[in-house]
């Protein structure tokens, strides 16, 4: 969800100090973009406070960049040395392999009830919650206020208005009237946002799956969506000099912060990035085909607890502490992400202070957001295929229908293989 910047920290330890002591080992992702705000500092502070009132429990935390953390956990599990806790990007494979505690085995009823329902539901594999949401974000449309005011434009709510605004910006020499990052870094996110906004008459698009979890990548709506993108944006030169399939999210965000982009779909980290460069920007819900309300895309990262070491009681107690309102708010405010609990979300929604107020547009989207199908063990393979191939749908001579049909075949095969 949030690309980390390679900050790697490892806290060593000597294990249990006595027969009654327990050492919990947590592997966590780094949400910071520099050593100064590495997640190591967040966990150091939280663990210090927890251990001060829990003398029989030690918590050792290893923090890795997002480039490495999922692989590190997999290596540990494959070697037979699973951590007690892992805070990473996906849980379904470990749940399907029987390696995780169910959330109900660990958490108090109060903690379980506090999670936002759509996030808790997305944490289910086979109708049991194993993935515990840890951080969330949604997407909104960022637009360059200076460009829009100069051109006499208003931010778009419909696709037709978006294309018309982009045409005006192009005629005024804007390098990227609408930046469309469908490169391999995070194309699965941009793809899903467009799928969800592609419904007719105000109804939501189908996304990657239907209501019962069957892949619908090549649905008529999705084909129509990508055909519109190709015909009305890309082929008319409204997406800038870099082909969407070669433009990564990080490049698009950097170009927006450099004042080269009129509009781009973005998540909360773009706020600070743009402010640091002095760009005046506004945020509105991502436009839909009809201009009427529809679902936005939500993303969550996950906490999970491995059964191997048998520390269910201590792990659950620590997690109840991690998910206290204070700690959830501290994390969300530090890294510009959305709270995963109702109690913390309510505090943030009611606050007009920084940094809470800046996150209100994203928080407003969360209640009706739709998540990746992370509860499907096939999703990792499908996501990888989308990242590598979706850009071809918008390439010169490319066929949106053909590319989506091939991705659907990949998804169907991956789903079938995961079920066997």
Beta bridge pairs of residue 249: none
pLDDT digits (tens, 9 = 90+) for 61-71: 999 998 899 99
Residue 257 scores a pLDDT above 90: yes
Residue 1 scores a pLDDT above 60: no
From CA 233, how far away is CA 241, in angstroms rounded? 12
pLDDT digits (tens, 9 = 90+) for 140-160: 999 999 999 999 999 999 999
pLDDT digits (tens, 9 = 90+) for 8-47: 233 333 333 333 599 999 999 999 877 888 999 999 999 9
From CA 29, how far away is CA 51, in angstroms rounded? 21
pLDDT at residue number 274: 95
From CA 262, how far away is CA 279, in angstroms rounded? 11
pLDDT at residue number 10: 31
3-state secondary structure of 265: strand
pLDDT at residue number 41: 95
**Residue 377 · residue 93 · CB < 8 Å:** yes
Q: What is the mean pLDDT of residues 100-108?
A: 98
pLDDT at residue number 251: 95
Q: How many CB atoms lie within 10 A of CB 370?
A: 23
107 CB burial (10 A radius; 0-12, 13-18, 19+): buried
- What structural domains and CATH numbers belong to the chain? 9-137+299-371 (3.40.190.10), 140-295+378-419 (3.40.190.10)
Q: What is the mean pLDDT of residues 195-203?
A: 71
Instruction: List b or e across 30-57, with b for residues whose CB sees 16 or more CB atoms inside 10 angstroms.
Output: bbbbeeebbbbebbeebbeebeeeeeeb
Answer with the residue of higher pLDDT: 35 or 107.
107
Half-sphere exposure of 83 (CA within 13 A, CB side): 23
Place 321 in a pLDDT band, splitting at 50, 70 and 90: very high
Q: How many CB atoms lie within 10 A of CB 104?
A: 12
From CA 112, how far away is CA 96, in angstroms rounded? 21
Structural element, H or E, at residue 10: strand 9-10
From CA 226, how far away is CA 390, in angstroms rounded? 9
Q: What is the mean pLDDT of residues 92-96?
A: 95
pLDDT at residue number 200: 58
3-state secondary structure of 358: helix
Orientation angle between helical segments 400-419 and 379-389, nearest 10 degrees: 160
Place 296 in a pLDDT band, splitting at 50, 70 and 90: confident
Q: What is the mean pLDDT of residues 375-400?
A: 95
**By C-alpha distance, which of 55, 62, 130 is closest to 92?**
130
For the chain, what is the mean pLDDT? Answer: 91
From CA 117, how far away is CA 49, in angstroms rounded? 29
pLDDT at residue number 293: 65
**Residue 195 · residue 225 · CB < 8 Å:** yes
Place 289 in a pLDDT band, splitting at 50, 70 and 90: very high
Residue 191 scores a pLDDT above 90: yes
Q: What is the mean pLDDT of residues 173-187?
A: 96
Q: What percent of the chain has pLDDT over 70?
A: 93
**Residue 332 · residue 338 · CB < 8 Å:** yes
Q: What is the mean pLDDT of residues 410-417?
A: 94
Tokens of 246: 């070669």
List of E strands, 43-166: 57-64, 85-88, 124-125, 128-129, 132-138, 140-144
**Residue 317 · residue 53 · CB < 8 Å:** no
* 109 contact partners, CB below 8 Å, separation of at least 6: none
From CA 382, how far away is CA 215, in angstroms rounded? 10
Q: Where are the alpha helices (DSSP H) in 211-308?
A: 220-228, 249-257, 269-276
Q: How many CB atoms lie within 10 A of CB 332?
A: 25
């Amino acid at each position: 969800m949030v690309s980390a910047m390679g900050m790697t920290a490892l806290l060593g330890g000597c294990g249990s100090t006595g027969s009654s002591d327990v050492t919990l080992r947590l592997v966590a992702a780094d949400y910071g973009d520099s050593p100064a705000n590495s997640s190591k500092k967040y966990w150091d502070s939280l663990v210090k406070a927890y251990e001060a009132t829990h003398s029989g429990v030690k918590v050792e935390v290893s923090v890795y960049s997002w480039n490495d953390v999922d692989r590190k956990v997999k290596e540990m599990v494959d070697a037979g040395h699973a951590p007690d806790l892992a805070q990473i990007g996906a849980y379904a494979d470990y749940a399907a392999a029987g390696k995780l505690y169910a959330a109900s085995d660990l958490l108090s009823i109060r903690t379980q009830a506090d999670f936002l329902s759509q996030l808790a539901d997305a944490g289910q594999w086979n109708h049991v919650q194993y993935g515990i949401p840890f951080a969330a974000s949604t997407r909104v449309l960022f637009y360059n206020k200076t460009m829009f005011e100069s051109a006499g434009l208003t931010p778009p709510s419909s696709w037709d208005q978006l294309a018309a605004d982009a045409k005006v910006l192009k005629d005024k020499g804007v390098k990227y009237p609408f930046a469309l990052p469908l490169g391999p870094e995070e194309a699965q996110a941009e793809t899903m946002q467009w799928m969800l906004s592609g419904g007719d008459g105000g109804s939501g698009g189908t996304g990657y799956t239907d209501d019962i979890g069957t892949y619908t990548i090549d649905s008529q709506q999705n084909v129509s969506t990508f055909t519109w993108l190709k015909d009305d944006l890309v082929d008319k030169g409204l997406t800038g000099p870099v082909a969407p399939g070669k433009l990564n999210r990080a490049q698009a965000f950097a170009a927006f912060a450099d004042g080269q982009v009129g509009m781009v779909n973005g998540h909360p980290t773009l706020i600070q990035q743009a402010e640091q460069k002095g760009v005046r920007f506004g945020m509105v819900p991502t436009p839909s085909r009809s201009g009427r309300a529809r679902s936005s895309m939500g993303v969550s990262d996950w906490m999970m607890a491995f059964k191997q070491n048998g520390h269910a009681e201590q792990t659950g107690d620590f997690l109840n502490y991690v998910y206290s309102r204070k700690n959830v708010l501290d994390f969300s405010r530090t890294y510009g992400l959305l709270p995963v609990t109702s109690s913390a979300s309510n505090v943030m929604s009611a606050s007009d202070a920084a940094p809470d107020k800046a996150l209100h547009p994203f928080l407003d989207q969360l209640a009706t957001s739709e998540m990746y199908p992370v509860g499907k063990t096939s999703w990792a393979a499908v996501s990888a295929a989308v990242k590598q191939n979706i850009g071809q749908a918008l390439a010169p001579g490319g066929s949106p229908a053909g590319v989506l049909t091939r991705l659907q075949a990949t998804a169907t095969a991956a789903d079938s293989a995961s079920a066997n």
